[in-house]
Structure 1
Amino acid sequence: MMKLNLPWWCVSLTLSPLTIYAAEDSAGLAKQLSNPVANLISVPFQLNVDDNVGPNKGTRTLLNVQPVVPLSLNNDTNIISRTILPFTTQSDVTGKGENQTGIGDIVQSFFYSPKAPTESGLIWGFGPVLLLPTGSESVLSGRKWGAGPTGVVLKQSGPWTFGTLANHIWDYAGQNDRKHVNATFIQPFLSYTTADAISYGLNTESTYDWTQSEWSVPINLTVSKVTKIGDQVVQFGGGLRYWAHTPDNVGPEDWGIRFNVTLLFPQ
């Protein structure tokens, strides 16, 4: 049975009753959110709750704040800044009766991306990814500086969006007594957006640790809806995640849940 011990900052995601967003471009905004390099400023708050973490079957609640900001280089290309800032609350993960709450390490990506798809309809972006050791507690941080390449390629056809985002990070500095970072992240994704701005999504967020020769493979199934609260356009969503594979006695097991709240700032 999954325990939902949500910390105080999860309460901030509870918002007042919604006013349905009936603008004609609501479905268009929903479809843009399926594109990691869309020309759209957004601030997603992604909440993950996982149980059975580690040998003591602990619980981890992870809130990822993930602002996406496109910066125009010229009439044809953008630089897309994507930041992942994690906030973690966990209990019984590092030891029975032990609890931690704090900030984790930031992952910062920059994608060079054309504003228009190719003639064949492909949308793509590539650039660097950086790992910043910003963790507030030792157990929430690798204490390593890292860098590597990142890229995304996708296609949008009618209501469908499908593609893959990937990166690889090597550490180049940090505490010598901490584990080396040599990890590949692969995220194939598929989504279907209706005329009512409802999006159904399926993805995996797989990581291969080359140092430990281990996979972590969560599979996420989500449903989300673009609407409006006052003058603020927002997308709400949620769903289930299943851990198809995790390292023994380290990762979560079985099922978890995910909630999403994304603030949109159409230009």
Structure 2
Amino acid sequence: MRSGLAWAAGLGVAVWAAGSSVAWPEGGSAHRPTPAEIAEQLADPSANITYVNISYRAYMDAGLENDDVNQELRLNGAGFIRLPDQTSVLYRAFLPLYATEFPCDDEGVGDALLSAYWVPTTGSLIVGAGGALIMPTASEDWFGTGKWSAGPTLVLAKKVPGKYTVGGLLTHVWSFAGEGDREDVSLTTIQPAVTYFLGRGTSATLTSEATYNWEADEDRWQIPVTVGLSQILPPFGNFFVGVGLAGSYYIEKADYVQEWDLRAVVSVVFP
């Protein structure tokens, strides 16, 4: 097993990302957001928001016989730097922890993902751009790529306050360093989402995390369709807590990939 220093560093970056947002001073008194406003911010990929969340996923019917269950715990952090020209730099960190039955009965850490992108902070249609970096922090070969990879990120968001948000992220990464005996990485990730706001901090979301592996000989697409429901609770002191449940069905996948999954998420938001 590889040294834990790499994945510990990745986790540290995730925590840093969620706790180090910077904003230039603005005049006027601070506005205390409502649960409904927090729900809209969490659904907006271009929002100036600071949070940490933990997402549990159970991947069902995986493996060569479609009878294995793989589990993942995703640690996410987000923050922002607000610039004086009515724009912001948003940054995100992500680290997965796995407990799998396929391809091996094992537990460990996956590759860490860091991303940052520039966005305007005004308007109902937001277009931003930046980049992403994948670090080879996986504790075992089957939990990661063994490669350093990087590439561009595009963010889009169309907002109708109080009604819905349509948005998404488009990312492509190529490997540029890492273990010489591992396959090169050329991976496109498409993450569209439509979120409807039901009032009082409740929202319903239809989303996907589609990937296209340009290096694969076959089964290049993996496309889950995910439906979820989430709720922002009344504030606890200076922060909000959100909870959510979701399920996914994979309309395109390799033979050994899970048929469907169940998800639960807890978010802590610092307005």
TM-score when normalising by structure 1: 0.84
CA offsets, 1:89-131, max 9 Å, x none?
Answer: 111x01xxx42111100111101111212xxx21122101111
Asked if 2 retains the 8 angstrom alpha-carbon contact of 1:37 and 1:111, the reply is no
Amino acid at match of 1:107: L
Asked if 2 retains the 8 angstrom alpha-carbon contact of 1:131 and 1:146, the reply is yes
1:71 deviation in Å? 1.3
Which residue in 2 is equivalent to 1:173?
Answer: 177
Q: Tell me, in whole angstroms, the C-alpha distance in 1 between the residues paired with 2:117 and 2:242.
A: 23
Which residue in 1 is equivalent to 2:56?
Answer: 47
CA offsets, 1:200-237, max 9 Å, x none?
Answer: 00001100001115100111100000004742411000
Q: 2:230 aligns with which of 210, 218, 224?
A: 224
TM-score when normalising by structure 2: 0.83
- In the alignment, structure 1 segments of 5+ residues that lack a partner are 1-22
Q: Counting helix residues as a fraction of each chain, which structure ranks higher?
A: 2
Which residue in 2 is equivalent to 1:115?
Answer: 121
Which residue in 2 is equivalent to 1:5?
Answer: none
CA offsets, 1:124-159, max 9 Å, x none?
Answer: 221011110011122212100000000111111141
Q: 1:210 aligns with which of 209, 214, 221?
A: 214
Which residue in 1 is equivalent to 2:75?
Answer: 65
Q: Secondary structure at the match of 2:149?
A: strand
Q: 1:237 aligns with which of 237, 244, 251?
A: 244
Amino acid at match of 1:35: D
Q: Tell me, in whole angstroms, the C-alpha distance in 2 between the residues paired with 1:65 and 1:25.
A: 25
1:187 deviation in Å? 1.1
Which residue in 2 is equivalent to 1:262?
Answer: 267
Amino acid at match of 1:259: A
Which residue in 1 is equivalent to 2:143?
Answer: 140
Which residue in 1 is equivalent to 2:129?
Answer: 126
Asked if 1 retains the 8 angstrom alpha-carbon contact of 2:46 and 2:157, the reply is no
Which residue in 1 is equivalent to 2:189?
Answer: 185
Amino acid at match of 1:72: R
CA offsets, 1:5-60, max 9 Å, x none?
Answer: xxxxxxxxxxxxxxxxxx86210110010011211101121211111222143211
1:248 deviation in Å? 2.3
Q: 2:258 aligns with which of 252, 257, 261?
A: 252
Q: Secondary structure at the match of 1:179?
A: coil
CA offsets, 1:224-253, max 9 Å, x none?
Answer: 00004742411000021111111123x111
Query: How many residues are aligned here?
Result: 235
What is the percentage of aligned positions where both structures have the same residue?
30
1:194 deviation in Å? 2.2
Q: Tell me, in whole angstroms, the C-alpha distance in 2 between the residues paired with 1:146 and 1:87.
A: 19
- In the alignment, structure 2 segments of 5+ residues that lack a partner are 1-31
1:64-83 map, 5 Å: 64-83=74-93
Asked if 1 retains the 8 angstrom alpha-carbon contact of 2:119 and 2:129, the reply is yes
Q: Tell me, in whole angstroms, the C-alpha distance in 1 between the residues paired with 2:139 and 2:121.
A: 37
Q: Tell me, in whole angstroms, the C-alpha distance in 2 between the residues paired with 1:185 and 1:246.
A: 14
1:64 deviation in Å? 1.2
CA RMSD, Structure 1 to Structure 2 (Å): 1.5
Q: Tell me, in whole angstroms, the C-alpha distance in 2 between the residues paired with 1:224 and 1:203.
A: 13
Q: Tell me, in whole angstroms, the C-alpha distance in 2 between the residues paired with 1:152 and 1:24.
A: 24
Asked if 1 retains the 8 angstrom alpha-carbon contact of 2:111 and 2:137, the reply is yes
1:165 deviation in Å? 1.1
**Runs of 4+ residues deviating >6 angstroms:** none
Which residue in 2 is equivalent to 1:6?
Answer: none
Q: Secondary structure at the match of 1:113?
A: strand
Amino acid at match of 1:215: W
